[in-house]
Structure 1
Amino acid sequence: MRLTVLGARGAFPEADDACSGFLLEHDGFRLLLDAGYATFPRLLAVCTAADVDAVFVTHGHPDHCVDLNPLLRARSLADDPRPPLPVYAPPGALDAVLALDRPGMLDYALTPVGDGDRVGIGPFTVDVRTLPHFVPNNGVRVAAGGVVLAYQGDSGPTPDLAALAGEADLLLAEATYPEAVPGHSAGRLSSALDAGAAANSAGVGRLLLTHLWPGLTDAAALGAARSAYAGPVDMAQAGQGWNLSG
């Protein structure tokens, strides 16, 4: 399984950066996890819009889904349009982004998914767990070729994350703040310290932090995560590629 980071910034992108978007590849199949602000141009540096086989969106906040629109436009308006793109998301999460164009213009096949669902997407087996956020958010456990990646989306600290990520080869965890989450977001967002604790509880092989708030430093987040988790910790950066093995 190969993971390519298209973007990993929380809330809104900084210069030369992008929000949440991750491309998984296995056996020639390309699965896009989230499609936040500015991820589509970075996707085009890796493959064409027609090369994407499926999309899984964790939740309906625009920093995780808004670039689904240009992806679908590029496929639907091409001289040789592709078949409908399979898209998986919580019920109703994509209503706003799909309504940006007139009905029938965008060609997709939407499958609502939620807590406890297991779906086969190409060579990937995806288990879904709803995790606490401001809107319905699906954390996922993605398995293929003997490798497991867990992705939190956005959520507050919860034992369900460690259960979802148990013994995963890599946990891609939200770390909006280094240590303390402000009161207005408590229970709905996580810190790098929370991510380290979840990685430790889950016994994962590697922790990759994502969704850091713009303007905050990677060093502070990495230090906080490493204080709670002794395994390898990195900060997700746009353009990174990871070959994952069990």
Structure 2
Amino acid sequence: MKITTIGMWGGYPEAGEATSSFLIEYEGTRLLFDCGSAVLSTYLTLGTIEELDAVLISHYHPDHVADIGVLQHAAMIQTQLGNLSKVIPIYGHTQDSVEFEKLSYKGVTEGKEVMEGASFEIGPFHISVCPTIHPVYCLAYRIEAGGKVVVFTADTQWTDDLVPFAQEADLLVSEANVYPQYAGKIQGHMTGEEAGKLAAQANVKRLVLTHLPQYGDRSILVTEAKKRYTGPVELASTKQVITL
């Protein structure tokens, strides 16, 4: 399984980059996890719309869905040109029915409901979800293929539920949007230390931090994570490739 960072920013992207999003590939099947600001243009430097098999959405904040509309326009144009002959499924929850309805567009994309506690298959991938703690309903995703596991926390503050959900993952991609001085003041997000705590308690093999703040010294997030977790820790970076 190959995981490529499309973007790693929370809230909005830094100049020339994208908000937190990842491309997951195995045996010719491509999944895109979240599709926020500037994600499509970055993805298109790595592959085509025709090569995209499905999109997984954690929640409907703009930094996670802002590029859904332009992805749909790209799919429509490629369909009109005769390059795309399939409907691209976009998986998301229905807790916000208005936003979920937007995932289906003119026969080129189709919204697929993801229910709390659900597990399902996309090609060679086995996927399960877990609700997180965020100002809006949000899902973490566990993706398994070829005997390997990657877990994406999506946006969340600390919750014990993520520990068994992420257990023994080969890679944990955890949000870490909060510096220690803001712990308890910024709701719905984790500190670097909390991401490290999750990695340690879940006994994962590797930790990558994403949904990063645009301000401050981000190396502090890694330092804080290492207080709790002794395995490898790093900040996500654009087009970083991890092969499991």
Fold shared per TM-score above 0.5: yes
- 1:136-178 Cα offsets, whole Å, 9 max, x none, are 1110111000000010000110111111100000000010013
Match of 1:235 in 2: 235
Aligned residues: 241
**C-alpha distance in 2, partners of 1:162/1:73?**
38
Unmatched tracts of structure 2, length 5 or more: none
- Over the matched positions of the two proteins, sequence identity in percent amounts to 34
> In structure 1, what is the Cα distance between the partners aligned to 2:100 and 2:74?
15
- Residue in 1 that maps onto 2:86: 83
Aligned partners of 1:144, 1:169: CA distance in 2, in Å?
11
Q: CA deviation at 1:182?
A: 5.1
Distance 1:150 1:58 in 2: 12
1:75-127 per-residue CA deviation (whole Å, 9 max, x = no partner) reads 11221143211111111558448659xx8536212111132100101111001
Distance 1:222 1:94, change over 3 A: farther
* Per-residue deviation, 1:242: 0.8
Rounded Cα–Cα distance in structure 2 between residues aligned with 1:65 and 1:217: 27
Q: Secondary structure at the match of 2:34?
A: strand
For the pair 1:8 / 2:11, whether they are aligned, the reply is no
Measured in 1, the distance between the counterparts of 2:95 and 2:153 equals 19
Distance 2:113 2:91 in 1: 6
Deviation at 1:27, TM superposition (A): 0.3
2:227 equivalent to 1:202: no
Preserved CA contact (<8 Å) 2:183 2:191: no
Aligned equivalent of 1:39: 39
Code of the aligned partner of 2:234 = D
Mapping for residues 60-209 of structure 1, pairs under 5 Å: 60-78=60-78, 79-80=81-82, 81-91=84-94, 93=96, 95-96=98-99, 99=102, 104-105=105-106, 107-181=108-182, 183-186=184-187, 188-209=188-209
Give the Cα separation in 1 of the matches to 2:182 and 2:92.
26
The secondary structure found in structure 1 opposite 2:18 is: coil
Aligned mates of 2:37, 2:92 — CA distance in 1? 17
Q: Which moved more, 1:175-184 or 1:196-205?
A: 175-184
Q: Which secondary structure does the structure 2 equivalent of 1:204 belong to? A: coil
Asked if 1 retains the 8 angstrom alpha-carbon contact of 2:193 and 2:225, the reply is: yes
Deviations 1:201-238 (A, max 9, x none): 00000000001111232211111111111100010011
What's the secondary structure of 2:200's corresponding residue?
helix
- Contact kept, 8 Å, 1:180 with 1:191, in 2: the verdict is no
Q: Distance in 2 between matches of 1:165 and 1:82?
A: 36
TM-score when scaled to structure 1? 0.92
Compute the TM-score of the two structures, normalised by the length of structure 2: 0.93
Partner Cα distance (2:217, 2:198) in 1: 21
Using the TM superposition, name which of 147-156 and 217-226 deviates more: 217-226
Question: How far did 1:55 drift?
Answer: 0.6
Q: Secondary structure at the match of 1:139?
A: strand
1:13 and 1:217 map into 2 onto residues whose CA distance is 17
- Residues 98 and 181 (structure 1 numbering): CA distance in 2 closer, same or farther, change over 3 Å? farther
Say which SS state the counterpart of residue 162 (structure 1) adopts: helix
Aligned CA-pair RMSD: 1.8
Gaps of 5+ in 1: none
